[in-house]
Structure 1
Amino acid sequence: MGWFYVVLAAVNELIGVWGLNKFNERKNVTNALVYVGGLALSFMFIYASFDYLPTSIAYATWTGVGTGGVVLMNMLFFGESKSLFRMVSLLAIIIGVTGLKIV
């Protein structure tokens, strides 16, 4: 159940950041609600995961998945650079989060 909450937290973080990007482009109530709602739900789910998982593992996974997901989302949908260094850095995040889970 804890990992399910971490996944929900990460997905909602991506929704919140997507809303933030849209709100930055066009300030309206819908974009603000997506931004604030996504991040609020993200915090709610990560907090719920702490009942099942060690805080250090859940939080590190959530931030790693969120960071990696936001980088990918911005490269795919918002035209950010797809340079080799960015890809290698993203791989380092994935390896680090995976390593924390394995250990």
Structure 2
Amino acid sequence: MAWFWLILAGLFEMIGVTMINVLHKQQNWLSLVLLIGGFGSSFLFLTLAMETLSMSTAYAIWTGIGATGAAVVGMVFYEEPAEWKRLGFIILVIGSTVGLKLVA
């Protein structure tokens, strides 16, 4: 169940980061509520995951999901560049996160 909580925490982290961008462009209450809700839910689920998983593994995977997901959301929905160098570093983040889990 801890892995489920951790993946959910990472997805809510993506929502929180995306809402920072949305709030910057559209300053309204809904964007602010979704930003606070996204990060709040992310921390809640990360806390639940860390009851079973080690801090280093949980934090690395949580930040990996959040960073990778935010970059992909930016490319898909906000016309951020999707050049090969950027995609290569996203692959490195994913590989590093998986690698840390394999050795931890």
User: Structure 1 residue 23: deviation in Å?
Assistant: 0.6
User: Structure 1 residue 48: deviation in Å?
Assistant: 1.2
TM-score, normalised with respect to structure 2: 0.95
Cα distance in 1, alignment partners of residues 24 and 79 from structure 2:
15
Counterpart in 1 of 2:77? 77
Q: Which runs of 5+ in 2 are unaligned?
A: none
Counterpart in 2 of 1:11? 11
Counterpart in 2 of 1:94? 94
Cα distance in 1, alignment partners of residues 23 and 39 from structure 2:
13
User: Structure 1 residue 32: deviation in Å?
Assistant: 0.3
Q: Which runs of 5+ in 1 are unaligned?
A: none
Aligned pairs, number:
103
TM-score, normalised with respect to structure 1: 0.96
- Higher RCO (CA < 8 A, seq sep 6+): 2
Q: Name the amino acid aligned to 1:4.
A: F
Query: Which 4+ stretches in 1 moved above 6 angstroms?
Result: none
Counterpart in 2 of 1:43? 43
* 1:25 matched to 2:41: no
